[in-house]
Amino acid sequence: MNHLKSVTTSLALFCKVVDNFGDIGICWRLARQLEQEHQITVTLWVDDLVSFKKICPEIDIKAEQQDIHNIRIRHWRDQDGQFDVNDIANIVIEFFGCDIPPAYIATMARCQPPPAWINLEGLSAEEWVEGCHTLPSSHPQYPLTKYFFFPGFTPKTGGLLREKNLAQEHLEFNQVTQTRSAFLTSLGVSAKELDTFTISLFCYPHAPVEQIFETWKSGAEAITCLVPVGVAKEVIEKFLQQEAKPGAQAMRGNLSVRIIPFVPQHDYDKLLWSCDLNFVRGEDSFVRAQWAQKAFIWHIYPQDESLHHKKLRAFLERHTASSAASQAFSLAWNDASSTPDWLGLWTDLRRDLPDIRGQSALWRQQMQDIGDMTSNLLSFINAKR
Ligand code: TRH
């Protein structure tokens, strides 16, 4: 990596926010890790500062250019035609096939040597990923080659994003009991709720929240469900019978549902560490739940023709920290099974949670052994130079 440092000084990361927070969530995490752990000068081009601000409150949504945590952030609008070779980074990453400005590409072709060019793809556990990881694609017009880089769950993929200090931070968080209570209290969780079985809920609006709430409500165990503001708003408001703003809470039967603030990205890990079970979604929170070493249920980003069900099954087949019950629950949560019996599904999942938690440590180790995605990506780039 030292050799890499001597030849690599700058990196441009282009991010188009398709929707929600995952695109910018992943890019921001990657940008920070490149800067902090690899001392690379990063410019993050992003087209949606409003979404960015949700996970990083320091963002000024009006600024064309700003520096936050040593990352240069540029509002990506229509800057075509404005580049010269000095503007081009040594490494250019386009996230998820977003088309970077044609003038930027044309200028890349004039650089000597040309920059390393990567298309960073989305995460999938499907088998084909291994075959496509690191494949080259020549530009039809310029002498430039772009490489496809896939995160993933096997050593033949790029691995998962993970910061160097994550495990240590997690350990320190767990070492002192008061850390959890202080954190949850800062989100508005009451003293009584702290002692209940705690669940964080991050899902898409179509999740069967009503059904699971019904089950939890009438169960024997006291449950607190923490819902970041904005998540599944309609169904949550129906339960609360009031606006779902931070601080809103309702108790029905044995279930307390509480709206918490949408926390800055760094604190989201603490939320996952603090809960007994986490419902996560998309890509980034899904990966963080795996590092958190707790049981989790994944709400996968929906795709046309139920393609996401294939992806979900591919993951469930690989994921060793699961049981028949957690798999059945996951399929039902994603509408991939018919007429789910929610009480039965929950009873079985709840019974298996201690075991799943034990297996989660092994899964985490297995993922860790692949190496973190950022280091894997830089090693790949370095080998191509
Ligand atoms: O928000 P997501 O659903 O994002 C995405 C996008 O929809 C994207 O287009 C699609 O490609 C991808 O899913 C599969 O879920 P995700 O990926 O988990 O991103 C959420 C981000 O928000 C993640 O970085 C964690 C962060 N977050 C916070 O910072 N604070 C919070 O309170 C919460 C709940 C999340």
At a CB cut-off of 8 Å and minimum separation 6, what does 305 contact? none
The verdict on 14 and 135 lying in the same domain is yes
Q: What is the CATH number of the domain that holds 40?
A: 3.40.50
- Cβ density class 308-329: b for 16+ within 10 Å, e for less: bbebbbbbbebbebbbebbbbb
Atom of ligand 1 nearest to the CA of 262: 32
Decide if 199 contacts 215 (C-beta within 8 A): no
Q: How confident is the model at residue 8, as a pLDDT? A: 54
What is the C-alpha to C-alpha distance for residues 339 and 321, in angstroms, rounded to an integer?
Answer: 25
The verdict on 52 and 130 lying in the same domain is yes
The verdict on 255 and 346 lying in the same domain is yes
The verdict on 155 and 179 lying in the same domain is no
Tokens of 67: 């520096």
Decide if 88 contacts 108 (C-beta within 8 A): yes
The verdict on 172 and 145 lying in the same domain is no
What is the C-alpha to C-alpha distance for residues 53 and 279, in angstroms, rounded to an integer?
Answer: 23
**Alpha carbon of 26 to ligand 1 centroid (Å):** 8
Domain limits at 365? 166-369
Decide if 286 contacts 213 (C-beta within 8 A): no
Q: What is the pLDDT along the chain (385 residues), one digit of tens a residue?
A: 334 444 558 999 999 999 999 999 999 999 999 999 999 999 999 999 999 999 999 999 999 999 999 999 999 997 777 899 999 999 999 999 998 999 999 999 999 999 999 999 999 999 999 999 999 999 999 999 999 999 999 999 999 999 999 999 999 999 988 999 999 999 999 999 999 999 999 999 999 999 999 999 999 999 999 999 999 999 999 999 999 999 999 999 999 999 999 999 999 999 999 999 999 999 999 999 999 999 999 999 999 999 999 999 999 999 999 999 999 999 999 999 999 999 999 999 999 999 999 999 999 999 999 999 999 999 999 998 7
Strand-pairing partners, residue 160, are 372
Q: How confident is the model at residue 5, as a pLDDT? A: 42
Say yes or no: CB of residue 281 within 6 Å of ligand 1.
yes
**Alpha carbon of 298 to ligand 1 centroid (Å):** 12
Residue ranges of alpha helices (H) inside the chain are 2-7, 22-38, 49-55, 102-109, 128-132, 166-175, 177-186, 191-194, 209-217, 233-240, 265-274, 284-291, 307-318, 324-333, 342-369, 373-384
Q: How confident is the model at residue 2, as a pLDDT? A: 39
Residue ranges of alpha helices (H) inside 71-176 are 102-109, 128-132, 166-175
Tokens of 180: 């959890």
Strand-pairing partners, residue 280, are 298
The verdict on 248 and 311 lying in the same domain is yes
Closest among 36, 22, 253, 259 to 166, alpha carbons compared: 36
Q: How confident is the model at residue 204, as a pLDDT? A: 98
Atom of ligand 1 nearest to the CA of 204: 3
The verdict on 194 and 326 lying in the same domain is yes
The verdict on 279 and 336 lying in the same domain is yes
What is the C-alpha to C-alpha distance for residues 270 and 74, in angstroms, rounded to an integer?
Answer: 29
Tokens of 127: 């088998």
User: Which of 48, 161, 259, 283 maximizes ligand 1 atoms within 8 Å of its Cβ, making it the mutation to test the pocket?
Assistant: 283
Q: Which amino acid is at 81?
A: G
Decide if 61 contacts 50 (C-beta within 8 A): yes
CA within 13 Å, CB half, 111: 22
Q: Which residues are catalytic?
A: 23, 283
Q: What is the CATH number of the domain that holds 329?
A: 3.40.50.2000
The verdict on 374 and 270 lying in the same domain is no
Number of domains in the chain: 2
The verdict on 235 and 269 lying in the same domain is yes
The verdict on 108 and 244 lying in the same domain is no
Atom of ligand 1 nearest to the CA of 24: 24
User: Which of 28, 56, 284 maximizes ligand 1 atoms within 8 Å of its Cβ, making it the mutation to test the pocket?
Assistant: 284
The verdict on 152 and 12 lying in the same domain is yes
What is the C-alpha to C-alpha distance for residues 84 and 309, in angstroms, rounded to an integer?
Answer: 45
Q: How confident is the model at residue 177, as a pLDDT? A: 84
